[in-house]
Amino acid sequence: MEPRWFTEMEDGHSQWYAEHFRELAHDGQDLEGEARLIDAITPPGSTILDAGCGQGRTAAALCRRGHSVIAIDIDPVLLAAAREDNPGPTYVLTDLSDMNLLGDLPGMHPLDGAVSAGNVLAFVASGTEEAVLTNIYRQLAPDAPYVTGFHVDRYALADFDRDLRAAGFALESRFSTWDLRPWTPESEFAVSILRKPI
């Protein structure tokens, strides 16, 4: 099955997305909020998975904070932009639903944390959400966090909570923004901090 990132978006969307974030960076916009949160909840010098890294802004920001980052995405256009604009992470072209997610990177797991920013889970192939969460779970060390954010009209929280439990995760906290504003039932966006149990 093809990810919704390809089936629901218009031709040229990936290039537009890369250019959009280049413009935001050029304009001095703060593009590191997700990285600040991950940095705050993982040990210094952690090895972190950016699952669905897009053009690499979060992955590179984590590298600048002293972490080692494996950044994976299924979109070759965005990975090319990431390698050009945001060097530092190890970039890998792969599908998050692939059971052998990091099989060709020896010595890289278990990882200390993971992040999926930018509606990643809402753009995987329909019906693969639990498999994606399970694959990310398998890469993590016990007690490692996984933080993801998405619009709840794209991926219903009831479905997400079911899928995260099936994958083995525990829900630790939920917020409405990456800068940790409180979650309410009216929130349109959800940032969830999951934890792999010890």
pLDDT digits (tens, 9 = 90+) for 26-51: 666 766 779 999 999 999 999 999 99
Query: Residue 5: which pLDDT band, with cuts at 50, 70 and 90?
Result: very low
Question: Given strand 113-116, what is the order of strands in its sheet?
Answer: 90-93, 68-73, 47-51, 113-116, 145-151, 189-195, 170-175
> Does the pLDDT at position 70 exceed 80?
yes
pLDDT for res 159 = 96
> Does the pLDDT at position 9 exceed 60?
no
The structure tokens listed for 178 are 């990456």
Please report where in the chains the tokens 């999926």 appear, as a residue: 116
pLDDT for res 45 = 96
pLDDT for res 118 = 82
Q: What is the pLDDT of residues 177-191, one digit of tens each?
A: 999 999 999 999 999
Q: What is the pLDDT of residues 121-170, one digit of tens each?
A: 998 988 999 999 999 999 999 999 999 999 999 999 999 999 999 999 99
Q: What is the pLDDT of residues 93-128, one digit of tens each?
A: 999 988 676 665 555 668 999 999 989 999 898 899
What count of other Cβ atoms lies within 10 Å of the Cβ of residue 92?
Answer: 17
> Does the pLDDT at position 12 exceed 90?
no
- 5-26 core/surface letters (b: 16 or more CB in 10 A; e: else): beeeeeeeebeebbeebeeeee
Query: Residue 2: which pLDDT band, with cuts at 50, 70 and 90?
Result: low
CATH of residue 18's domain is 3.40.50.150
CA angle, corner 66, sides to 25 and 107, nearest 5?
Answer: 115
Cis previous bond, 76, omega within 30: no
Residue-range definition of the domain harbouring residue 44: 4-195
pLDDT for res 14 = 66
For the chain, what is the domain count? 1
Query: Residue 11: which pLDDT band, with cuts at 50, 70 and 90?
Result: low
